[in-house]
């Protein structure tokens, strides 16, 4: 093999390793409330249902209680303006970390009921 081909292969392998390392370092897993409380990761995805009665929009913050699939709850605080569809949202993925007993989110992904889904859930 020529020296140029060897250098190209080595650089390609090093580049791929760097991409994989960056991806793994910045990945953020989905967790339950219990796992979020135990996690020391700087960022996790906490998915669940929004308790509509707890939604509070303040000056530059949004707070609410989220209930995960196991029924555990956590108080979520998001520093920023409320997402446009916050009023219609039923489910949320809060991205952030637990700080004491509060989940501090730096991003909210909302799921609203689809106009294409029927109101009656299908039975099997």
Q: Which pairs with CB-CB distance under 8 Å and at least 24 residues apart come from 97-100?
A: 97/36, 97/39, 97/41, 97/42, 97/43, 97/44, 98/36, 98/37, 98/39, 98/74
74 within a domain of the structure (yes/no): yes
CA–CA gap between residue 124 and residue 57 (Å, rounded): 40
Give domain status of residue 98, yes or no.
yes
Q: Do residues 76 and 61 touch, judged by C-beta distance below 8 A?
A: no
pLDDT in tens, the chain (124 residues): 688 888 888 899 998 888 887 776 666 788 999 999 998 888 899 999 999 899 988 888 999 999 999 999 999 999 988 888 888 888 999 999 999 899 999 999 988 776 555 555 555 4
CATH number, residue 67: 2.40.50.140
* Closest listed residue to residue 32, CA positions, set 67, 4, 75: 67
* Number of domains present in the structure of the chain: 1
Determine the structural domain holding residue 97 and report its residue range: 30-111
């Amino acid at each position: 093999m020529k020296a140029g081909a060897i250098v190209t292969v080595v650089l390609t392998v090093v580049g791929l390793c760097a991409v994989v390392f960056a991806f793994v370092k910045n990945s953020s897993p989905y967790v339950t409330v219990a796992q979020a409380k135990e996690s020391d990761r700087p960022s996790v995805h906490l998915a669940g249902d929004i308790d509509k009665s707890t939604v509070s929009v303040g000056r530059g913050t949004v707070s609410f209680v989220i209930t995960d699939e196991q029924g555990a709850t956590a108080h979520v605080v998001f520093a920023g303006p409320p997402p446009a569809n916050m009023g219609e949202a039923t489910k949320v993925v809060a991205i952030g970390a637990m700080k004491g007993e509060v989940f501090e989110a730096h991003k909210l992904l909302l799921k609203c009921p689809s106009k294409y889904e029927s109101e009656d859930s299908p039975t099997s």
